[in-house]
Amino acid sequence: MIIEGVDNLLVRLSHCCAPVPGDPIVGYITKGRGVSVHRKACPNVAQAEANGERLIDVYWENPEETTSLYNADLEVQGYNRNGLLNEVLKIVNNTTKQLNLVNGRVDHNKMVTISISLGVRNATQLQRIMDNLKNVQDVYVVKRPFR
């Protein structure tokens, strides 16, 4: 990561929005914890700015060339039918080898929300997974949630 105008500071990726290489990002200098890096769309960025935190420009260095895996969260919503979870997991497993968490819940209207945490190299790989999940029958929404 490249941080404009700052050297020798602790840098951490925020867990609330889980940025991955290729995402538009921004950082802010926290009190005692260095630079916290968030996706630009993260609601906590607006809150930090309102609280007087200093936002700084942060960029990924060669996001398409990274070989490290970064945690990303997905939320899949759809109609709860037989085999839906199986199809979702098959798509994830065909694209990445690191599946960290799967959690599902069904509401009274037979709508399911599947929360997935997985390891990806960059935003391009994550978008490919999301696009493939959107093509699954009975899946209506695929998004990256904010915590």
Q: Are strands 2-3 and 54-59 parallel, antiparallel or unpaired?
A: antiparallel
Give the three-class secondary structure for 137. Answer: coil
Q: ∠92-98-104 over CA atoms, to 5°?
A: 55
The answer to whether 57 touches 109, Cβ cutoff 8 Å, is: no
* Boundaries of every domain in the chain: 2-64, 70-143
CA distance 86 to 29: 42
CATH 3.30.70.260 fits 70-143, yes or no: yes
Q: What is the pLDDT of residues 27-55, one digit of tens each?
A: 988 777 788 899 999 999 888 878 777 88
Strand order from edge to edge, sheet including 139-143 = 99-106, 111-120, 70-79, 139-143
Residue 64 in tokens: 């398409």
Q: Which residues contact 99 (CB under 8 A, 6 or more apart)?
A: 89, 92, 93, 116, 117, 118, 119
Give the three-class secondary structure for 77. Answer: strand
- pTM of the predicted structure, to 2 decimals: 0.90
Q: What is the pLDDT of residues 60-109, one digit of tens each?
A: 988 888 889 999 999 999 999 999 999 999 999 999 889 999 999 999 99
